[in-house]
Structure 1
Amino acid sequence: MENKSKHNQGVVVPKLLLFSIHLMEFISPYWGMRLAAFFFSKPFRYKRPEREVSIYKEAKKFSYKINKSSKRVACYRWEGSGPKILFVHGWSSRATNFYKIIARFRELNYDVYAYDALAHGASEGLTTNIPEMIDTLEEMMTHWGPVEILVGYSGGAFSSAYVAAHKHSIKKLVLISPFDKVITVFEKYFNMISLGAKASQLMLDYFTKKTGHQVEELSASQFSKAIKAKTLVIHDKNDREVDVGEGININNSISNSNLLLTEGLGHRRILRDSSVIQSLEFFVLND
Structure 2
Amino acid sequence: MNKKTKTKLKAIYYIVLIKLIAVFSARAAALKAFKVFSTPYSGKPKRIPPAEFSFATPLTLPFEGKVLRGWLWQPEPEKNNGKKILIAHGFDSCSYRFAHFIQPFLQQGFTVIAFDAPAHELSDGNTTNVLEYRNAIVAIKKKFGPFEVNVGHSLGGMAITLAAEKLQDTSKLILIAPATETFTAIHAFSKLLRLNANIKSAFVQHIKTISNHSIHYFSVSRAIAHIHAPVLWIHDESDIICPFKDVLPVQEKQYPHISFYCTKSLGHSNIYRSKSVKNAIISFSNNE
Q: CA deviation at 1:256?
A: 0.9
> What residue is the counterpart of 2:276 in the other structure?
275
Aligned-pair identity (%): 25
Q: Distance in 1 between matches of 2:276 and 2:141?
A: 28
CA–CA separation in structure 2 for the residues paired with 1:281 and 1:205: 41
Q: Which residue of 2 aligns with 1:73?
A: 68
Tell me which of 12, 15, 25 is aligned to 1:28: 25
Separation of aligned partners in 1, 2:158 and 2:225: 13
Q: 1:142 to 1:55 in 2, by over 3 A?
A: same
- 2:242 partner SS: coil
Partner of 1:227: 227
* Correspondence for 1:137: 137
> After the TM superposition, which of the residue ranges 104-113 and 121-130 deviates more from structure 2?
104-113
Residues 198-229 of structure 1: per-residue CA shift (max 9 Å, x gap): 01111111121112222133322122112111
1:8-55 Cα offsets, whole Å, 9 max, x none, are: xx94351222211111112322222222111111113353655x5212
Any unmatched runs of 5+ in structure 2?
none
TM-aligned CA deviation for residue 107 of structure 1: 2.6
Aligned-partner Cα distance in 2 for 1:171–1:217: 22
Residue 104 of structure 2 aligns with which residue? 104
CA shift, 1:165, in A, is 2.5
**Are 2:62 and 1:62 aligned?**
no
Distance across 1 between alignment mates of 2:250 and 2:97:
23
C-alpha displacement of 1:62: 2.3
Superposition TM-score, scaled by structure 1 size:
0.90
Q: CA deviation at 1:253?
A: 6.3
Q: 8 Å contact 2:170–2:227 — kept in the other structure? A: no
Q: Which residue of 1 aligns with 2:187?
A: 187
Q: Which amino acid aligns with 1:18?
A: I
Aligned to 2:90: 90
Specify the SS of the correspondent of 1:12: helix
**Deviation digits for residues 147-191 of structure 1 (CA, Å, limit 9, x no counterpart):** 110111111111111222231424311011012221221111111
Q: Write the distance in 2 (CA, Å) between the matches of 1:148 and 1:206.
A: 35
The one-letter code of the counterpart of 1:56 is F
Q: Does structure 1 residue 19 correspond to structure 2 residue 26? A: no
Contact 1:165–1:225 (Cα < 8 Å) also in 2: no
SS at match of 1:238: coil
Distance, in Å, in 1 between the alignment partners of 2:111 and 2:174 is 16
Distance change >3 Å, CA 250–CA 46, structure 1 → 2: farther
Q: Could you tell me which residue of structure 2 aligns to residue 207 of structure 1?
A: 207
Superposed CA RMSD in Å reads 2.0
The answer on 1:240 being equivalent to 2:240 is: yes
Q: How far apart, in 2, do the equivalents of 1:199 and 1:212 lie? A: 19
The aligned residue for residue 123 of structure 2 is: 123
Letter in 2 for 1:266: G
CA contact (8 A) 1:101 1:271 kept: no
What are the superposed Cα offsets for residues 90-127 of structure 1, whole Å, 9 maximum, x if unpaired? Answer: 11111121111223112323100010111111001111
